Amino acid sequence: MAEEKPIVFAHVDDMPEMVMSIASMLWNKTGSWRYLRPRYEDRVPPCNEACPAGNDIEGFIRLLGEGQPAEAWRLLKEENPMPAVTGRVCFHPCEYGCNRVHFDAPTSIQALERYAADHAAGELDWAWRAPTGKKIAVVGAGPAGLAAAYHSRRLGHDVVVYDALPQAGGLLRIGIPAYRLPRDILDAEIAAIEKMGVVFELGVRVGVDVPFAKLAEFDAVFVAAGVHVNRKLGVEGEDGPGVVAGLGLLAKVALGEKFACGRDVVVIGGGNSAVDAARVARRLGANVTIAYRRTKVEMPAFEEEVRDAEEEGVRLELLVAPTRIRRDGGAVTGVELQRMELGEPDESGRRRPVPVRGSEFDLPCDMVVAAIGEAADLSFLPPEIKQEWGKIVIDAFGLTGRPGVFAGGDIADPQQNVAQALGDGKRAAIAIDRFLHGETIADIGGKIIVGERGCASMAQYAKRGASHAKIIDAQHVAAYEELNLWHFTRAERDRMARAPLAERLAGFAEINLGLTDAQAAHAAERCFHCGVCTMCDNCYVFCPDVSILHKTDGGYGYNIELDYCKGCGICVKECPRAAMSLGEE
């Protein structure tokens, strides 16, 4: 009964004898009734925009939800060379951007990333570009350098990575202790990059062992040497034995070098290095106090780290700053601290600590760890590479003033964290690729970032590897207000198992033990998939005009029958995740 034209009876004898139907209503193209029409319009999930490394978070969680952890891992590897690392140590800004935070609690994105990475299986298809014959030098084997090397290699270039340390990894190796990032996990991620044919020249310091000018032999250079120069406390008694740099302590322990820890240790500083150094010292048997000039809530270190440190017996001495280190016969006997109170906010927005006159007191100790930040050593760079505020000056994609020289990571980026470094490396790899092909990044840069303010997307750039073979071209980020929350139910976040407290201090074994399969399945279900069609069928079920149909070839998504769609808008309204829009024809 698929007649497309209305029936006209020429003669009364042609008509049926009684009032009855002989055809369908399909000739009646009710699409002519509408003045607005629905469209499927994938939008950017806020987690994707929030991720500094540019992961397709919604995509990988969807694959986990479909029971495909290996595929989820593969999708993560399209954007991020080390999901097993970030799944453990990233400060997960994605979870703060997750829309579910307004509903009950954010999706457990980091735990799921770790789960996917821990279930990695099979080979990666990385050689999808023909070799270009171009050579790139990467200075620094930390996360920024590793990401630049990984992505450049995938883009078909030859890569050599130089690093002064005997092992690759940068701060991942020497700055993050094994109980947060197990050595074998880190080794495996780096080995995978090496297996791609990236050449590592370790124990080679550019500017000392290899002059920077020699790197002109390469077609492009990416500088990501990081920040390893410890900031001095600037107090009397600082020089001499018994006062160590936070990073120095961590590096020695990480590289397996001998280190004699004090019995009573005071760590000055409130960042991750300070807290890590404190917790390592605890494992080496010391009583440890962290001394920080502001309050706990303002400590830059991750909340979970601070909480874990306290659980492990690290004391916090807050609103104090060192004025002098006491020595007796050369050995450290204590640190003099002055109490602070919070005054007006500084340029970071945090309230500036103001010394309280006459409040000095002595904290006995035999070792002081200075962990108040690190700076970059920029001495090896030629003068054309502009510097400012102790960092290399770069644009959004890592271009320095000198053509062919790019930079990223802590040496150039004020946002000093692993995910940001990974993002820097990827952006630079893309910009280098453009440069090597004689193009600029400026004309496409805006089109390949996720949302309006996110990281660059390799899927967008190379037009490959997106989830469900679909690349979200949009800039519009799906906002919480655009979701239809009636279609979601409240569910608690899953808590992964952790090593018992009593066992943690016994050594450097990993503390967080990962989600179980059942937990991961549940955690993946909590994802709203903001802005991306998951074929939940709401539009199909609620359409009163049978005008939204599954594709007959079994392909992903739906067809809107525009001949009949009356433009009522129910499909758009009932889409739980703002993956449709209603607009003019």
Partner 1 sequence: MKKVIMGNHAASWAVMLSRVQVISAYPITPQTQIVEELSEMCGDGRLAAKFLKVESEHSAMASVIAASATGVRAFTATSANGLALMHELLHWAAGARLPVVMVNVNRAMAPGWNIWADQSDSLSQRDTGWIQIYAEDNQEVLDSVLMAYRLAEIVRLPVMVCYDAFFLSHTYEPVDIPSPDMVDRYLPPYQPEIFLDPQAPHSFFGLVMPDVYMEMRYKMQQAMERVPAVAAQAADEFAAIFGRRYDMVEAIECDDAETVLVTSSTTTSPARVLIKQLRAEGKKIGVLKLRFFRPFPTDEVRRALKGKKRVVVVDRNISFGKGGIWADELRGALAGRPGMPQVYDFVTGLGGRDITPNLLAEIVADAEARKTPDRLLYWKGVNQ
Partner 2 sequence: MRDAYPREELMMSGHLACQGCGGASAMRHVLKAMGPDTIVVQPACCWTIISGQFPYSALKVPILHTAFETSGAALAGVRAALDMKGDTTTQVMAFAGDGGTFDIGLQSLSGAAERNEDVMYFCYDNEAYMNTGVQRSGATPDKAWTTTTPASAPKTGPKKNMIQILAGHKIPYAATANVAFPEDLIAKVRKARDIRGTKFIHILSPCPPGWKISSEQSIEIARLATYTKVFPIYEVFRGEEYHINIEPRDLPVFEYLKLQGRFRHLSQEDVDEIQKRVDYEWRILLAKTMQERFD
* Nearer residue to partner 2 within complex by CB, 1 or 130: 1
Tell me how far, at minimum, the Cβ of 299 lies from partner 2, in Å: 39
488 binds partner 2 (CB under 8 A): no
Cβ proximity to partner 2: between 36 and 235 the closer is 36
Residue 528, interface with partner 2 (CB under 8 A)?
no
The C-alpha angle 9, 24, 10, rounded to 5 degrees, equals 5
Tell me which of partner 2, partner 1, none is bound by residue 10, counting a contact when its beta carbon lies within the kind-specific cut-off of 5 to 8 angstroms.
Answer: none
- Give the footprint of partner 1 on this chain (CB under 8 A): 9, 12, 15, 17-22
Q: Nearer to partner 2 by C-beta: 405 or 543?
A: 543
Strand ranges, E, within 366-485 = 367-370, 374-375, 387-388, 391-392, 405-407
Question: Is 461 a binder of partner 2 (CB under 8 A)?
Answer: no
Residues of this chain, 5-64, that bind partner 2 according to CB under 8 A: 7, 15-16, 19-30, 33-34
CB of 45 to partner 2, least distance (A): 20
Cα–Cα–Cα angle for 282, 172, 147, rounded to 5 degrees: 165
Among 546, 556, 557, 559, binds partner 2 (CB under 8 A): 546
- Look up residue 69 and give its two tokens: 């952890």
Relative to beta strand 199-202, strand 158-163 is: parallel
Question: Which of partner 2, partner 1, none lies near 17, with the C-beta cut-off 5 to 8 A by kind?
Answer: partner 1
Residue 20 vs 130, nearer CB to partner 2 = 20
User: Would you say 21 or 348 has its CB closer to partner 1?
Assistant: 21
The residue (of 10 and 130) whose beta carbon lies closer to partner 1 is 10
Retrieve residue 35's tokens. Answer: 């003045």
What is the dihedral sign for C-alpha 89, 92, 95, 96?
Answer: positive
491 makes contact with partner 2 (CB under 8 A)? no
Q: Least Å distance between CB 131 and partner 2?
A: 43
Ramachandran bin of 285, using left for φ above 0, alpha for ψ from -120 to 50, beta for the remaining angles: left
Which residue, 212 or 542, has its beta carbon nearer to partner 2?
Answer: 542
- In 90-217, alpha helices (H): 93-97, 109-118, 143-154, 171-174, 183-195
**567 touching partner 2, by CB under 8 A:** yes
Q: Please name which of 375, 354, 416, 368 lies closest in space to residue 268, comparing C-alpha atoms.
A: 368
User: Among 201, 574, 576, 581, which residue interacts with partner 2 (rule: CB under 8 A)?
Assistant: 574
**Angle at CA of residue 569, ends 566 and 575, nearest 5°:** 135
Span of 182-190, 288-296, 323-331, 544-552 interacting with partner 2 by CB under 8 A: 544-552
Q: Which CB, 333 or 534, lies closer to partner 2?
A: 534
Total binding residues for partner 2 by CB under 8 A?
A: 42
Residues 6+ apart with CB under 8 A from 274: 246, 267, 268, 290, 292, 301, 369, 371, 372
| Identity of the residue, 21 or 489, whose beta carbon is nearer to partner 1 in the bound complex | 21
Binding test (CB under 8 A) with partner 2, winner from 341, 537, 556, 559: 537
Indicate whether 310 belongs to the interface with partner 2 (CB under 8 A): no
Q: Work out how close the CB of 477 gets to partner 2 at its nearest, in angstroms, rounded to a whole number.
A: 22
Q: State the binding partner of 420 from partner 1, partner 2, none, CB within 5 to 8 A by kind.
A: none
DSSP-based three-state secondary structure for 418: helix
Out of 318, 375, 496, 582, the only residue in the binding site for partner 2 (CB under 8 A) is: 582
Kindly state the greatest CA–CA separation across the chain.
124
Angle, helices 143-154/183-195, rounded to nearest 10 degrees: 30
CA dihedral 137, 143, 146, 151 (to 10 degrees): -100
Asked if 482 interacts with partner 2 (CB under 8 A), we say: no
485 binds partner 2 (CB under 8 A): no
The helix or strand, by DSSP H or E, that contains position 335, with its residue range, turns out to be strand 331-345
The CA–CA distances, whole Å, from 493 to 142, 486, 520, 524 equal 32, 19, 10, 10
Chosen from partner 1, partner 2, none, partner binding at 489 (C-beta under 5 to 8 Å by type): none
CB of 2 to partner 1, least distance (A): 15
Residue of the chain from 380, 479, 536, 581 that contacts partner 2 (CB under 8 A) = 536
CA–CA separation, 481 vs 492, rounded Å? 21
Q: Residue 475: name the closest of 443, 444, 445, 449 by CA.
A: 449
Distance, CA of 416 to CA of 414 (rounded, Å): 6
In the bound state with partner 2, the residue whose beta carbon lies nearer, of 473 and 537, is 537
Q: Say which residues have a Cβ less than 8 Å from residue 201's Cβ, sequence separation at least 6.
A: 160, 161, 162, 163, 210
Please answer whether residues 113 and 55 qualify as being in contact, where contact means their C-beta atoms are separated by less than 8 angstroms: yes
The item of partner 1, partner 2, none sharing an interface with residue 12, based on CB under 5 to 8 Å by kind, is partner 1
65 binds partner 2 per the rule CB under 8 A: no
Which contiguous run of DSSP H or E holds residue 583? strand 580-583
Least distance from partner 1 to the Cβ atom of residue 42, Å: 40
Please choose, from the candidates 104, 99, 100, 91, the residue with its C-alpha nearest in 3D space to the C-alpha of residue 51. 91
Q: Which does 121 bind (CB under 5 to 8 A by kind): partner 1, partner 2, none?
A: none
Nearer to partner 1, 18 or 260 (CB): 18
Nearer of residues 47 and 571 to partner 2, judged by Cβ: 571
- Contact residues toward partner 2 (CB under 8 A) are 1, 7, 15-16, 19-30, 33-34, 486, 535-538, 541-542, 544-547, 550, 561, 563-564, 566-570, 572-574, 582
